[in-house]
C-alpha cells in the first residue's frame, strides 16, 4: 500500500508531564511504573539505575525514561517483564526494578529498548541498554558492531553486586563528549 498520509510531528513533553505520566505523586493511579517485576517474576531480579545529563553535565530533572524488554526467557509474553516508565528526580536519577531479559533476537545480545523524553527535546531519542556481564554476546551483537568502537561503552550498563542485590548503572548523556549513542530505527 502506498503511503498517503504524513506522520504527525513530534513535540516536547514539556516540564509538566508528571501529573499525567507518574500521577501516583498526585494520588492517582499510574498506568505504568518503574517496577516491572513482582516477587514471583521468573529470572534474575535486577535494578537498572542512572542519571540523565545535559550537554554541560548537569542532571536533567524533567526527563522521562521508558523501557521495553523481554522476560528472562527472551519472550515479550504476558506476565514477563515488559514496559516501564520512570521520571527523573531532582538529581536527574531514575531506576527500574526488573528482571534481566534473555536474548530475543537471534544473534543479538540481551538488551533493553530505551526511549528518552525531556523538556528541551522536541523529538524523543531511542537507545538500547546492554549488560556488562554479557561480554561474549556483546562482542557478537550486530547493533553494537555498527556503533563506533569508542562510543560502544555508552550502551553498556555496568553490573555491580551490592548488599541490596544486583544493580546495573546506565547513565544517559543526551549531549556532550560522552553523548549516549542514539539510533534511527
Q: Does 14 engage in binding with another protein (CB under 8 A)?
A: yes
Q: Which single residue is written with the C-alpha cell 563506533?
A: 148
Q: How far is the CB of 166 from another protein (least distance, A)?
A: 21
Q: Are 52 and 62 in contact (CB under 8 A)?
A: no
Contacting another protein (CB under 8 A), which of 43, 47, 115, 158? 115
Our CA angle for 64, 67, 70, nearest 5°, is 170
**Which triple of cell numbers denotes residue 92?**
536527574
- If one asks whether residue 77 binds another protein (CB under 8 A), the answer comes out as yes
Contact 172, 52 (CB under 8 A): yes
Q: Is 82 in the site for another protein (CB under 8 A)?
A: yes
Bridge partners (DSSP) listed for residue 165: 162
Choose between 136 and 185: whose C-beta lies nearer to another protein.
185
d(CA 33, CA 81): 12
Q: Is residue 89 close enough to count as binding another protein by CB under 8 A?
A: no
Q: Determine, following the binding rule CB under 8 A, whether residue 130 of this chain makes contact with another protein.
A: no
Residue pointed to by grid coordinates 535486577: 46
Q: Which of residues 156-185 bind another protein (CB under 8 A)?
A: 174-175, 179-185
> In this chain, which of 45, 47, 119, 169 binds another protein, going by CB under 8 A?
119
**Contacting another protein (CB under 8 A), which of 24, 44, 105, 139?**
105
Minimum CB separation from another protein for residue 44, in Å? 18
Q: Taking CB under 8 A as the rule, does residue 10 contact another protein?
A: yes
Spatial distance between the Cα atoms of 99 and 47, rounded to a whole number of angstroms: 8
Amino acid at each position: 500500500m502506498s503511503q498517503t498520509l504524513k506522520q504527525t510531528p513530534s513535540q516536547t513533553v514539556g516540564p509538566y508531564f508528571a501529573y499525567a505520566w507518574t500521577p501516583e505523586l498526585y494520588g492517582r493511579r499510574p498506568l505504568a511504573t518503574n517496577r516491572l517485576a513482582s516477587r514471583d517474576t521468573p529470572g534474575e531480579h535486577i535494578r537498572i539505575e542512572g542519571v540523565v545529563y545535559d550537554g554541560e553535565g548537569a542532571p536533567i530533572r524533567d526527563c522521562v525514561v521508558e523501557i521495553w524488554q523481554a522476560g528472562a526467557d527472551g519472550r515479550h509474553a504476558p506476565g514477563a517483564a515488559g514496559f516501564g516508565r520512570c521520571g527523573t528526580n531532582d538529581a536527574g536519577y531514575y531506576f527500574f526494578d526488573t528482571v534481566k531479559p534473555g536474548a530475543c533476537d537471534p544473534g543479538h545480545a540481551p538488551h533493553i529498548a530505551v526511549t528518552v523524553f525531556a523538556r528541551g527535546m522536541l523529538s524523543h531519542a531511542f537507545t538500547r541498554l546492554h549488560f556488562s556481564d554479557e561480554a561474549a554476546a556483546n562482542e557478537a551483537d550486530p547493533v553494537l558492531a555498527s556503533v563506533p568502537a569508542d562510543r560502544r561503552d555508552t550502551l553498556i550498563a555496568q553490573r555491580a553486586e551490592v548488599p541490596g542485590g544486583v544493580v546495573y548503572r546506565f547513565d544517559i548523556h543526551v549531549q556532550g563528549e560522552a553523548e549516549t549513542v542514539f539510533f534511527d530505527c
